[in-house]
Structure 1
Amino acid sequence: MPNSFSQLRSWFKTPEPPETKALVLHNQHMYAATGLAVNLSLGLTHVQQLADSRLQEYLGKGSFQMPDPQLYDDGSPLFVALSHWGLSPSEYLTLMIALAPALQPNFYDLLIQKHLSKAGEFPEFGGVKNANTRTTLPTGDTVLFLLNGTDLTGRLTTWQQILSHDSRLIKQQIILLEDPKDGEPATSGRITVSKEYVEMFLLGREWQPRFSSEFPAQPITTLLDWDNLIVSKNNLQELRIIQDWLDHEQTIKTDPALSRMIKPGYRALFYGPPGTGKTLTAALVGKRHKRPVYRVDLSQMVSKYIGETSKIASNLFDIAENRNWILFFDEADSLFGKRTSVTSSNDRYANQDVSYLLQRVEDYNGLIILASNYKHNIDNAFMRRFQSVIHFSMPDAQERLTLWQQTKPEVVKIADDISFEELAQKFELSGASILNVMYISTIRGLADEQKITRAMLIDEIRKELAKENKTI
């Protein structure tokens, strides 16, 4: 038997997947023979064969024989992932052990009932009860037992190679092994497949985390293009460096000299007044490189409970790690600002949270963008860790003219008394303010069935300036 999935086509002997036949599991539950279900059904069969053989050996009813997994080369997400990862048979079986309850919730209960006619506990098998359905869920102990039985050497090898934090399945967060309660065995925690891969294998789509108090981030996108971004030439040059890093990051990471001396990832600071294009630029960088951009809501990340902020940050970074996400921290100075002097225990814990966040940002292996209105608000200890620091200034008159022209609507006419050149010269507005003036004026024009007039624009400009306590 080959020792990795790099030899899939010679190992898996079944030539073609069935077109109409369904595979019947031991409990007579049938899965439709689609591109997703066929190999998943075979995966359950492999775990069943493994468990049957191990339990027969344990109960003195036969000798143990490791199953010989065979999967269809059908291009399904499971097959493609296994081909890419190059897992060993034991790693593959561990993955399917963890995935089984997602496919068939009572899988392990039926399995145990099949071999143990009398009801009772079976601690050697491991497992914990699902709080909602009371069905059995596998633990690390379940993996150790099914793969090795009572063989101590084999159990230690599996623990080190598959269930340790350094193993690829766990390090890449393909599977998750929960931390046990204090005093309990290290492998007694529940073992699961990460939500990302459950959704990929079962539904054939990419998992998108939902915004919540535990994941305070949302994807940001834009329909605009780089031609719509009005910034200085110097800024465009600085932004090009970030894009070049995204194009060549893998090459840089493998450089013998740089890979040993630099931290992974790239960190950039965007600073400047509101509405000058910081968020749009982050979205455009992601769009250009086909990478999701997640804006982190720092107000949701900060918790009044001691240690909770670090826990939320840990969950966010653990999910984002190795997924090619761009993390965008807007109004970053609210949390990454200068640390307070310690006058109470609360100050000490607050500074610890900031220190933890700074460390996770520094260790992140992708692109992180922090946005702030003011550069001097960012902690000095962190400034030297930025590869790029880019100032987004208020647009000058020529840039404002371009912004006025770009926002000119087509659904309503513009009155002849409007001169965008005059507006650009006279009123110092940000790009966001110009867009809002034109947006509200368009609504008014449509509602009143009239053209957008100069007076209408001046009225909306007055309102925009009033937001900043300014007057015309």
Structure 2
Amino acid sequence: MPELHSATQAPTPLQLNARDLEQELAWFSRVLDARIKSYFAQEESPKEIDLTPPDLGSSESPYASFARHYQLSFPERTAIILALTPHIRPRLLDIFFIKNKNFDRKFTEFGGIFGGPDGDFTPTGETLAFILAGDDLTIRFGLQGLFDGEHFFARHNILRLTPSGDEPAMKAPLRLSDETLSYFTTGEPRRPDFGANFPARFIETQLSWDDLVLQNGTRKQIEEIKTWVEHGQTLMEDWDMARKLRPGYRSLFYGPPGTGKTMTACLLGKSTGRDVYKVDLSLIVSKYIGETEKNLGKVFDQAQNKGWILFFDEADALFGKRSETKDSHDRYANQEVSFLLQRIETFDGIAILASNRRENLDDAFARRFESIIYFPIPRPEERLRLWQQGFSKQSQLDQALDLEKISHEHTLAGGSIMNVIRYASLEALKNERTMIASEDVLQGIRREYAKEGKSG
């Protein structure tokens, strides 16, 4: 078997996590063993349960960094490793399969859920309470604070009790989020999957700010968002402005389709090291009627405190001018909008909402933004830049192709120009040539006009 890494090669985050988690598992095994022995020996105050966790102060593993960042208490660290054990060392929990011989059933005090194809043991809140509290009600009651909505476990989407019905909360499974589980094992947080439970999709771009052609006024306003990213925390914390200002930053991007709104959001994320998630509100409203509040609430719960940029495309689909309330459906829709407005206002990250037309948005809603940025159709000189930098370096332009003339005669957004370039380039490849034909470009322009119901 090949070595995982040589003496001169630095260990990977995965390997560092594996090393530290071996220590954590050995410690947790001693804690569990001490509790079992203490409980069945009926000792009143089991001192051996207060075992000191491993010292990971000098470790560079993602797991150790997490433990230091949150300054995990003994109960918090125990909860984390208990929830992690079924994924990395499930046999440590086999002790909970022993039966209460007096009643020929499992020990109720162990908690846990038995199931799955192998009949595995899944720890619950009761399992954690047994390990840490035994029969001590004072300690047991105190543990419930770990699962309060204001605890960082919940606020940062790290660890939760996940009830499936009306059972008592402590009888619910104890689960790490997929993101946290991935971070503790591979060293990389897993991005949530797009779907009904998380109606937002991670978006990114391979392009740079040099590829984005905008008017100077628009670009200057975008710089204001970057300034918030760089100095917002200092403003709120060091300058003690958190008491006076709302958390986070909200911006409205508006303008015709294809003018760079989505690309700008992606570039803001790329240049500041933040993930960008796109929420298509028109899709959400049509696909999850009546559940908008619940599903988008999950997006905010996961994005909270992670520094994410949330990009709401076609915002006027949900935040447009409110119609008069005519029936219960209208009242419910307005309640959902009010809920989302509240979440956006208290979101501590960056929320960008995009709309094709500002006048479609409710005036009261528009006043809630820190900035409102217009993305106009590019002017002739900007369109020329888009044409000039859009084609592949592997291609050559037809001598008859006058890009300057085309830029002045055809008023197209950047997205439409790139559609034309795509069409003309594919036509060249189809005909086994590298030259971009003038007629193919003009045909591509006519196709774009046809989409808009224009002639050209």
Please confirm whether the aligned pair reaches a TM-score higher than 0.5, indicating the same fold: yes
Cα pair distance change 1:77/1:257, threshold 3 Å = closer
Classify the secondary structure of the residue corresponding to 1:428. coil
The amino acid that maps onto 1:345 is S
The residue correspondences of 1:61-72 to structure 2 (distance < 5 A) are: 62=43, 64=46, 65=48, 66-71=50-55
Residue type at the aligned position of 1:444 = E
The DSSP-based 3-state class of the residue aligned with 1:216 is coil
Match of 2:11 in 1: none
Relative distance call for 1:114 and 1:306 in structure 2 (3 A) is same
CA separation in 2, counterparts of 1:462 and 1:151? 78
Match among 177, 193, 199 for residue 210 of structure 1: 193
Q: Which residue of 2 aligns with 1:468?
A: 452
CA 1:405–1:309 in structure 2 vs 1: closer, same or farther (change >3 Å)? same
Give 1:256 deviation, angstroms: 5.5
Partner of 1:431: 414
3-state SS in 1 of match to 2:135:
coil
Give yes or no for the alignment of 1:321 onto 2:304: yes
What is the DSSP-based 3-state SS (H/G/I as helix, E as strand, rest coil) of the residue aligned with 2:224? helix
Asked if the contact 1:310/1:356 (under 8 Å) is kept, the reply is yes
Determine which of 51, 54, 57 is the counterpart of 2:35.
54
**Partner SS, residue 371 of structure 1:** strand
Corresponding position of 2:125: 140
Structure 2 partner of 1:333: 316
Structure 1 residue 369 displacement after superposition: 0.7
Deviations 1:430-456 (A, max 9, x none): 111111112211121232245323222
Say if 1:145 and 1:307 are closer, same or farther in 2 by CA, change over 3 A. farther
Q: Which residue of 2 aligns with 1:35?
A: 16
For 1:94, give the aligned amino acid.
A
Q: Kindly state the Cα deviation for residue 35 of structure 1 after the two structures are TM-superposed.
A: 2.7
The letter for the 2-side match of 1:396 is R
Q: CA deviation at 1:386?
A: 0.5
Aligned equivalent of 1:153: 138
Once residues 97 and 444 of structure 2 are traced to their aligned partners in structure 1, the CA distance between those partners, rounded to angstroms, is 73
Unaligned runs of 5+ residues in structure 2 are 1-5, 8-13
Supply the AA of the counterpart residue of 1:103. I
Q: Does residue 453 of structure 1 match 2:437?
A: yes
In 1, Cα distance between the equivalents of 2:384 and 2:287? 46
**What is the alpha-carbon distance in structure 2 between the residues aligned to residue 302 and residue 185 of structure 1?**
33
State how far apart, in whole Å, the 2-side matches of 1:164 and 1:408 are: 55
Query: Contact 1:286 / 1:326 at 8 angstroms: preserved in 2?
Result: yes
- In structure 2, the CA distance between the partners of 1:385 and 1:449, relative to structure 1 (3 Å rule), is same
Q: What's the CA shift string for 1:35-74, capped at 9, x where partnerless?
A: 3323223322323322222222222355622222224544
* Alpha-carbon spacing, 1:146–1:367, altered in 2? closer, same or farther (3 Å): same
Distance 2:157 2:436 in 1: 55
Distance apart, 1:189 and its partner CA: 2.1
What letter corresponds to residue 355 of structure 2 in structure 1?
S
Question: Aligned partners of 1:315, 1:465: CA distance in 2, in Å?
Answer: 40
The answer to whether the 8 A contact 2:99-2:107 is kept is no
Instruction: Give the aligned residue type for 2:448.
Output: E
Kindly provide the CA deviation profile for residues 260-299 of structure 1, in whole angstroms up to 9, marking residues without a partner as x: 1222110100000001111111111111111111111324
Whole-angstrom distance in 2 between the partners of 1:185 and 1:444: 64
Superposed CA offset, 1:287-313 (max 9, x none): 111111111132442366664221111
Give the secondary-structure state (helix, strand or coil) at the position aligned to 1:269.
strand
2:248 maps to which of 243, 247, 265: 265
Q: Which amino acid letter does the alignment assign opposite residue 458 of structure 1?
A: L
Structure-2 separation of matches of 1:374 and 1:442: 32
Query: Quick one: which of 222, 227, 232 aligns to 1:244?
Result: 227
The residue type equivalent to 2:177 in the other structure is S
C-alpha contact 1:144 1:159 (8 A) present in aligned 2: no
Summarize the Cα distance change of 1:117–1:42 in structure 2 as closer, same or farther, 3 Å threshold. Answer: farther
Corresponding residue for 1:92? 77
Give the corresponding residue for 1:112: 96
The more displaced of 304-313 and 455-464 is 304-313
Kept in 1: contact 2:282–2:314 (CA 8 A): no
1:349 and 2:336 are equivalent in the alignment: no
Partner SS for 1:328: strand
Give distance in 1, aligned partners of 2:338 and 2:119.
41
| More moved, 308-317 vs 99-108 | 99-108
The Cα offsets for residues 104-132 of structure 1, whole Å up to 9 and x where unpaired, read as: 33543x11246857851212222223455
Identity %: 39
How much has 1:341 moved relative to structure 2? Answer: 2.1
1: CA distance, partners of 2:125 / 2:450: 61
TM-score between the two structures when normalised by the length of structure 1? 0.87
What is the number of residues matched between the two proteins? 439
- Look up the equivalent residue of 1:295 and give its one-letter code: K
Which aligned pairs between 1:226-241 and structure 2 lie closer than 5 A?
226-241=209-224
TM-score, normalised relative to structure 2: 0.90
Q: Within the alignment, does 1:296 sit opposite 2:279 as a pair?
A: yes
Q: Out of 343, 348, 356, which is 1:360 matched to?
A: 343
Rate the CA distance shift 1:457–1:300 in 2: closer, same or farther, 3 A. closer
Q: CA RMSD in A?
A: 2.4
SS at match of 1:268: strand
Counterpart Cα distance in 1 of 2:376 and 2:173: 51
Query: Which residue type is aligned with residue 332 of structure 1?
Result: A
Q: Hey, what does 2:3 align to over in structure 1? A: none
With 111-120 and 455-464 compared, the bigger mean Cα shift is at: 111-120
Q: Give 1:9's aligned residue.
A: none
Q: Do the aligned partners of residues 273 and 303 (structure 1) sit closer, same or farther apart at CA in structure 2, a change above 3 Å counting?
A: closer
Aligned position for 1:3: none
- Asked if structure 1 preserves the Cα contact closer than 8 Å seen for 2:97 and 2:106, the reply is no
Residue 219 of structure 1 aligns with which residue? 202
Distance in 2, matches of 1:259 and 1:167, equals: 20
Indicate conservation of the 8 Å contact 2:423/2:440, yes or no: no
1:74-130 CA-to-partner distances (Å, cap 9, x unmatched) read 42221121122211222211211121112233543x112468578512122222234
Query: CA contact under 8 A between 1:216 and 1:298: conserved in structure 2?
Result: no
Note if contact 1:412-1:446 (Cα within 8 Å) is conserved in structure 2.
no
Aligned 8 A contact 2:384 2:403 in 1: yes
Partner of 1:27: none
Q: Determine if the alignment matches structure 1 residue 173 to structure 2 residue 157.
A: yes
Residues 243-264 of structure 1, C-alpha deviation per residue, up to 9 Å, x if partnerless?
0000012112215652112221
Of 74, 89, 102, 2:87 maps to 102
Give, in whole Å, the separation in 2 of the partners of 1:322 and 1:99.
23
Letter in 1 for 2:148: S
Check the 8 A contact 1:296/1:329 in 2, yes or no: yes
Structure 2 counterpart of 1:178, one-letter code: T
Runs of 4+, deviation exceeding 4 Å:
114-119, 303-307
Q: 1:286 to 1:189 in 2, by over 3 A?
A: same
